[in-house]
């Protein structure tokens, strides 16, 4: 039985989707904890109500990014996870932290990487004249919003769209894609070959509306 620790900073809708799918689909895994860097993160309430242990490592209580990451790492490792899942965790992680969890740290980013790393992704895609936007699940490395890509979700950018309407359309696919990507991991189906990730079952790694 694999153990998962999920990190959130806000409402944690992708965390909710993972918790629900793990239980409903009978994965060989359990969500051992949901941790946040913000004590007011709304997702902590959902986790507690569903019997998932929660914890807070408030980044404001630490003098440096390195000190915060060390405390966060200690909190995570107390649960001995096989996989750490970033689900709207709004902190840039240090190279030492990402190295500690190399090969077992997943993130979801709201763009079709390698395009538009960083913030305001859908707004930037619209401004660039893109006809599509989306999200990417990837393994985390020291380089921000890089790392081998597990899956991508694509939605059209329609006339009259703004960043919010695109984000809402993408989020629906994120709630399908991220649980599936985590399930592939816990079932041992992900094979990383350099910068490419393949699913042993041959399942599609592209999600569309």
What residues are annotated to the active site? 109
Between the alpha carbon of residue 207 and those of residues 79, 125, 174, 181, the distances in Å are 31, 19, 9, 11
Q: Give the dihedral sign, CA 78/81/87/88.
A: positive
* Residues in Cβ contact with 34 at an 8 Å cutoff, skipping those fewer than 6 apart: 5, 6, 7, 8, 12, 15, 19, 43, 44, 47, 52, 53, 54, 55
- State how far Cα 17 lies from the chain centre: 11
Token code pair at residue 29: 């895994």
The answer to whether 47 and 80 have CB atoms below 8 angstroms apart is no
Token code pair at residue 107: 């993130």
């Amino acid at each position: 039985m694999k153990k998962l620790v999920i990190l959130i900073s806000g409402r944690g809708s992708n965390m909710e989707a993972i918790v629900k799918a793990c239980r409903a689909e009978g994965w060989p895994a359990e969500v051992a904890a949901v941790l946040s860097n913000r004590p007011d993160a709304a997702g902590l309430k959902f986790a507690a109500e569903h019997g998932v242990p929660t914890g807070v490592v408030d980044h404001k209580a630490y003098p440096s990014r390195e000190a915060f990451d060390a405390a966060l790492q200690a909190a995570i490792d107390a649960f001995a996870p096989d996989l750490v899942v970033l689900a709207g965790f709004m902190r840039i992680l240090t190279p030492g932290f990402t190295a500690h969890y190399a090969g077992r740290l997943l993130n979801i980013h709201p763009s079709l990487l390698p395009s538009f790393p960083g913030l305001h992704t859908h707004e930037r895609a619209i401004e660039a004249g893109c006809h599509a936007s989306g999200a990417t699940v990837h393994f985390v490395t020291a380089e921000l919003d890089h790392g081998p890509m597990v899956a991508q979700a694509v939605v059209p950018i329609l006339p009259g769209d703004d960043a919010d309407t695109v984000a809402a359309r993408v989020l629906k696919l994120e709630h399908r894609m991220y649980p599936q990507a985590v399930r592939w991991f816990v079932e041992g189906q992900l094979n990383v070959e350099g910068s490419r990730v393949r699913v042993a079952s041959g399942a599609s790694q592209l999600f569309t509306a």
